[in-house]
Amino acid sequence: RVKEAEAHFQVARDLEPGFLGARTTLAEIYLGVGRCREAQRIYEEIAKDTENFGGLSLPWLMAASLACQGETARAEELLQDPSPLQDIFPFGKLYALGFLGRVDEALDFATALKEERSPWLPMIVTIRATAPLYSDPRMVDLCKELGVPVPDWAQ
């Protein structure tokens, strides 16, 4: 269904070329299906397109795309980025930690998001980019606690 998602993205982009939500969602889809370089390209485009108003570097999402490609040193460096904008998309850190194989740390972070009642968490635990985390039964337990179904692809 990636082709379908890409078609919907094109419609959204035609209507509003700068629509950040559509762009980051397409990049998440790419991460989930292993098209990591394409996700990285989108994050780089967003950073370039937002330069005029301070830039939006999306360090955690970029770290996820790099970790997904096996570029662990660069991903680790971005996870340390103190940018005040990094928590706009906290799911990027969750994905990056998962791709880096740091499952305990990722699940600790997800638990912290749950405790702070992050509105993102129910959505992000069902996106394929979190697939590396499902090797740990705590991720399944987290889905149950949130009242979201465990995705078929994770079972």
Q: 78-95: per-residue pLDDT in tens?
A: 888 766 555 567 788 888
pLDDT tens per residue across span 113-154:
889 888 878 877 767 778 888 888 998 898 888 888 888 877
Which DSSP category does 146 fall into? Answer: H
Q: What is the mean pLDDT of residues 64-78?
A: 91
| Encoded amino acid at 128, one letter | R
Specify the pLDDT at position 47.
81
Specify the pLDDT at position 67.
92
Give CA–CA dist 48/65, Å, rounded: 17
The three-state secondary structure class of 88 is helix
Query: pLDDT above 90 covers what percent of the chain?
Result: 15
90's CB contacts (< 8 A; 6+ apart) are 60, 109, 113, 118, 120
Give CA–CA dist 117/122, Å, rounded: 10
Say if residue 71's pLDDT is above 90: yes
Length reported for the chain: 155
Q: Higher confidence at residue 109 or residue 22?
A: 109
Annotate 9-34 with DSSP letters as a single string.
HHHHHHH-TT-HHHHHHHHHHHHHTT
Q: What is the mean pLDDT of residues 3-18?
A: 81
Give CA–CA dist 71/58, Å, rounded: 17
Neighbours of 146 (CB within 10 A): 15
Measured on CA atoms in the order 22, 26, 31, 33, is the torsion positive or negative? positive
Q: What is the mean pLDDT of residues 54-83?
A: 83
Q: What is the 3-state secondary structure (H, E, C) of 40-76?
A: HHHHHHHHHHCHHHCCCCCHHHHHHHHHHCCCHHHHH
Q: What is the pTM of this model?
A: 0.79
